[in-house]
Chains A and B, each alone.
Chain A
Amino acid sequence: MNDKQKLFKKILELDFALHELNLFLDTHPDNEKALRLLGDYRSMRKSAVEEYENRFGRLIIMPCDAPTTKPWQWINGPWPWEIGFGGE
């Protein structure tokens, strides 16, 4: 796994942690530790995305991430279900 793949994996892991905290908070809305962790992981994700973009260019996960320059990059493969997604 190269640095680009490692950093993308780290972003996926942080997204998963954020989702887990989301579900946990749905049934524990007053849990201060979970709310604090959510804030921590959000900052970690923001830094990881900044590092990724400084080193490897735009990270396009949602259509709104894609630049407004020609050509429209949202449609670039490989798509997530294909072999080679995330760089190989």
Chain B
Amino acid sequence: MWQYQKKLQYPVKIKNPNPKYAQIIISQYGGPDGELGASMRYLTQRYSMPYDDVKGILTDIGTEELAHLEMICAMVHQLTRNLTPEEIKASGFDKYFVDHTAAVYPIAASALPWRAEYIQAKGDIIADLHEDLAAEQKARVTYDNLIRLIDDPDILDPLKFLRQREITHYQRFGESLRRTTDRLNSKNFYACNPSFDKNCGKN
């Protein structure tokens, strides 16, 4: 189960609303490499993981991603507060506003709503950990792109924190992959699937 903690992992305090920035930052909520997909990917993959340490890292990183999703939503919420209809029209936020007003709905910057196709649970530890490593790099690139396009320090500060977390998670997943292959047949990691075949890979 989960219990809510009434705090953000890193503070978000944006002085100046900016609906243009909100429309690109929202991709890290509901976009193809966003935090909603990240948390669902890791928390979903846990059930077919054969090793306790990998169940642990997926649980703990998957939980942290929920905190990142909350930070991104806080940013979008603060960037779209107190807007006038004129500001909404001038910034191009009107197309979002007509469907969601100033609510925070999981879509990509392109407006495509979040899709389960953004994630995979393959039921094979090597395939799943490679998916996770790739996901962290793709999220890191998305943060790099946002940092290039944004010049407000109130927004850049939490974005840089989140970018750094992608690199830390990549490191931890890399270690999990190494710990996994250490337990498999060193001549052929693919000889059997420890997530499915009994007696495959020592724990």
Please report A residues at the B interface, Cβ cutoff 8 Å.
9, 12, 15-16, 19-20, 22-24, 26-29, 60-63, 74, 79-83, 85-86, 88
Contacts and interface: CB of A to CB of B under 8 A. Distances in A.
B6 A80 contact: yes
Given A27-B53, A27-B176, A81-B74, 17 more contacts: A9-B11, A12-B10, A19-B9, A19-B64, A20-B168, A23-B57, A23-B61, A23-B169, A26-B53, A27-B175, A28-B175, A80-B7, A80-B8, A81-B73, A83-B81, A86-B11, A88-B13
Contact of B5 (A22, A29, A62): A62
Contacts of A81: 8, 12, 70, 73-74, 77-78
Contacts, number: 70
Contacts of B179: 27
A13 to B, nearest CB: 10
Contact of A26 (B5, B11, B12, B56): B56
Contacts of B168: 20, 23
B13 A83 contact: yes
A82 B175 CA distance: 37
A88 B11 CA distance: 12
Interface of B: 3-14, 53, 56-57, 60-61, 64, 70, 73-74, 77-78, 81, 168-169, 172, 175-176, 179
B64 A62 contact: no
Contact of B172 (A24, A61, A83): A24
Contacts of A24: 172
Q: Top 6 closest A-B pairs, CB basis?
A: A81-B74, A27-B175, A26-B57, A26-B56, A80-B8, A61-B5
Contact of B60 (A23, A61, A74): A23
